[in-house]
Amino acid sequence: MTPELINTFNSIVASATPLVIASIGETITERAGVVNLSLNGSIILAAMVGFVVALAADSALVGVLCAMAIGALVAVVIAAADIELKQDQVAIGFVLTLLAADLAQFLGQNYTRIPGPQVLITPLPLLSDIPIFGPILFRQSLFVYFSYALIFGVWFWLFYTRPGLAHRAVGERPEAAFARGTNVNRLRYLYTAVGGALVGLAGAAYSLSVKPGWSTPPSMSGDGWIALAIVIFGGWHPFRVVLGAYLFAGLRALASAIQRSPDVNIPAVLLNGVPWVLMIATLLLVSSGSIERLLRVLPRPAQKWMRNILRSDPPAALGTRFEQQ
Amino acid sequence: MIKRGFIVQAGFAIVPIGLSLLITALLIAATGTDPAAVFALVWEGAFRDLRTAAQVVNFWIPLTLAAIGLVVTFTAGLWNIGVEGQIMMGAVFASWAALTLNLPHHLLIPVEIGLAALGGALWAALVGFLKTRLGVHEIFGGVALNALANVLSIYLISGPWQPPEGGSVRATPPFQPDALLPPISPAFTVNLLAVVVVALAIAAVTIALRGTRWGLQLKATGKNPASALLLGVPTTRSVMSAFVVCGALAGVAGAYRVLFTYGSLRPLVSGGIGFLGLLVVLLVSMRPLWVPIVTFAFAAILSGSTRLRVALQLDSSLAGVLQGTLVLAVLLTNGMRQRLAARSKSAARSSAVQREDVVLTGAIHDSRTD
C-alpha cells in the first residue's frame, strides 16, 4: 500500500469520526424510543460552544465538556417536552434544530475565522507501528480513539449486559419493561441525555479537530441529517451504523478525489450534491419498499439471505409516548 | 368563571411571547448590545414608512404561500421539510422562462408562474414518490432534495446561466423587464397580483379542507393512515396530492422571489422562508385562517432584522432566534396548559368519586367489600 493511499484512509477515518460519534449517540437515544431530530442544529451549536469555550478557557477539554453539556441539554428538552408535556418529539426536535443553528450563528458571530486550540494527533505507541493498520487507525486524535472504544462499548452494553437489556426494552416494549419494574421514562431521560452528550461531542470533534475553528455558514452543516440517516441505514446496530459512517466518509472522499483528477470534467459545484444523493441511496437500500423490488431480481436462495442483511427495523416503540402510572 | 377562563387563556397566549422576548433580550445583552435599541431597530426596520412596510409584505407573500401549502401537507400528517427546495425549484423554473422565452409580458407572466408551480410540484412529488413507493421518510427525502435544489441552482448560476461578464456564484443576469412582476406604485413596491393569489390560495385551501371530500380524505390520512386505508380512503393518492398542492404553492412563492424581490436567480433564493413556514404551521396547527396573521408577524421580524448588521453589527440570525424561541415557548406552554387541564379534570373527577363513595357507603354499606 502506497503512503498516499494510507494517508487517504487515515483522513477518511478522521473525517468519519464526528459522524460515528453522533450516529452512535443517536442510536443510544433511539434505542430507548426517543427521536432526537435536532442533530443538525445540536452539532452546529455544540461545535460553536466547544470552540469558543476552548478558546476562552484555553483548554480543549473544558470546551469538549461544555459542548457535551449543550448537546445533552438540547436532547433533554426534547425528552421533557415528550414525557412531561406530551408534545410531539419530531415537532420539538425540528424547532430545536433550526433554533440551535441560529443561536450558534448569533452567539458565535464574533468568533468566526479565528485560530484557536485544537486537539492534536497523538500516535499511540506500539499500535501505530503495525504495518498499514497502524498509520491508518492509530495516528489520530483522541476523538478517534474514543470513538473506537465507544463502538465496542455500546455494542457490548446493548447486547451483553442487563441494564443494556432494559435499555432496549424501553425502546421496544415499554409496557413489558414497566411491568418488570423498569422506570421507563427515567431511562428515556437518561439515554436521551447520554445520546445528546455524544452529539455534542461530535460537534466538538468538528470544531476542535476535523474542521478546526468556527465559521458561518458552519462547515459541518448538513452532517447532522446525514448522521440521522446513517442510524436508519445501520439498522440501529452499532457495528452497522459505524460501517455506514465510514462508507459514507469514504464515498465522499472518493467523489472529491474523482473531482480533483485532471481528466474528469465535472463542475465543482455539482460535487456538493454527492452526499445527498448518497443519503437517499443508502436509505433506499434499506427501505422496505425498495428491498422487495431489489430482491425480486435475485435467485430465490439469495433472497432470504439478502433480506436478512439489508433489513432495518426500527425499535418498535420509537417515537411513541409511554404513559407511566 | 368565564372571566377567569378568559384571563387564563390570554395568559397562555402572552406568557410565551413575553418569555421569548425576554430570552432574546438576555441573549442580545450577552453580546453587549442594548436589547431595547435592537427591538426598536427591528420595529423601525419593519414599519418606519411605506417603503419598509412594502418589504414586510414582500416577505409575507412567499411566506404565506409556503405556509398555506404546508397546512395541506400537515393535515395529511406529512412533514414536508422539502418545502425549501420546492421554493427553489419554483424559482429555477420561473427563471428559465424569464431568461429564455421571448413572449409579450401578458403571456410571459402566466407562463412563468405556471412553470414555477410545476417545478415546485415536481420536486414535491419526488419526495412523495420516495415516501409512498420506496419507503424513504419524507423528512430525509426532503432534506436531501433541498440540498440538491440548491446545488442545481448554484450550478445554473455559475454555469449555463452565468452573466456574460464571466462566471460568478452571485446571480444570473437581471431578467428582461417584460419578465418581471410590476409594483403597485414606485412608493409601495408590492405586486398586486401576488396579493390576490395569496388571498385566493388561503380561501381555496380553507374551503377544500373544510368542505370537500378531498379535505376529509386528507384529514383521515393524517389522523390514522392505516384505518383510513381500511375505510377505503386512497391514502397514497391523498399523500401525493397533498405534496403536489404544497409544492405548487411553494413554487409560486419561489417565482415571487425571483420575478419581483430579486429580478434574477440567486443561490439560496428561498432564504429559509420554507423552514419559517413550517414553524408558522406548528404555531397555527392546521387552522388556515390564522396563517396570514402569524406570517405577517414573522415577516415583520424577518424584514426588520435585515438592517441589524449595518446598524448594530449584529448578525441577522437574531430573527431566527426570536422566531425559534417563540415557537418553542408556545409548544411548551400548550403542553403545560394541557397538563394543568388534565390534572384539574382528574382532581374534579376523583373528588366527585369520593362524594359518590360516601353516598354509596351510606346506602349499601354491606355490599362493599373493600
Q: Which domain holds residue A106?
A: 3-310
- Which residue from A minimizes the CA distance to B26? A107
Q: What span, in angstroms and rounded, lies between the C-alpha atoms of A178 and A159?
A: 19
B238 occurs within a structural domain = yes
Q: Which residues from chain B sit within 8 angstroms of residue A292, using beta carbons?
A: none
> Using an 8 Å Cβ cutoff, are B228 and B76 in contact?
no
- Predicted pLDDT of residue B357: 47
B362 occurs within a structural domain = no
C-alpha angle B316-B328-B124 in degrees, rounded to nearest 5: 75
Q: What span, in angstroms and rounded, lies between the C-alpha atoms of A287 and A289?
A: 6
A319 occurs within a structural domain = no
A324 occurs within a structural domain = no
Q: Is the pLDDT of residue A199 over 90?
A: yes
| Tens digits of residue pLDDT in A201-239 | 999 999 999 999 999 888 888 999 999 999 999 999 999
Beta bridge partners, B230, equal none
Q: Which residues from chain A sit within 8 angstroms of residue B79, using beta carbons?
A: 90, 94
B118 occurs within a structural domain = yes
Q: Which domain holds residue B229?
A: 40-288
Count how many pairs of residues, chain A against chain B, have C-beta atoms within 8 Å. 135
Question: Do the chains contact at A81 and B335, CB–CB below 8 Å?
Answer: yes
What residues contact B115, with CB distance under 8 A and at least 6 apart?
A: B93, B94, B96, B97
Those residues of chain B that have pLDDT short of 50 are: 1, 356-370
- Residue of B200, B182, B187 lying closest to B64 (CA atoms): B200
Beta bridge partners, A139, equal A123
- Predicted pLDDT of residue B351: 65
A24 occurs within a structural domain = yes
Q: What span, in angstroms and rounded, lies between the C-alpha atoms of A202 and A27?
A: 14
Assessment of whether the complete model's pTM goes beyond 0.80 = yes
Domain count, chain B: 1
Q: How far is B146 from chain A (nearest CA, A)?
A: 9
Interface test with B, best of A76, A98, A248 (most B CBs within 10 A): A98
Q: What span, in angstroms and rounded, lies between the C-alpha atoms of A162 and B198?
A: 58
Cα-to-chain-centroid distance, residue A208: 17
Question: Do the chains contact at B154 and A269, CB–CB below 8 Å?
Answer: yes
A323 occurs within a structural domain = no
Identify the DSSP state of B263.
S
- Which residue from A minimizes the CA distance to B277? A95
Q: Which three cell numbers stand for residue B118?
A: 410545476
State the CATH number of the domain containing residue A180: 1.10.3470
A316 occurs within a structural domain = no
State the CATH number of the domain containing residue B207: 1.10.3470
A139 occurs within a structural domain = yes
Q: Is the pLDDT of residue A310 over 80?
A: no
Domain count, chain A: 1
Helix spans in B76-133 (H)? 83-100, 105-132
A320 occurs within a structural domain = no
| Tens digits of residue pLDDT in A167-195 | 999 999 999 999 999 999 999 999 999 99
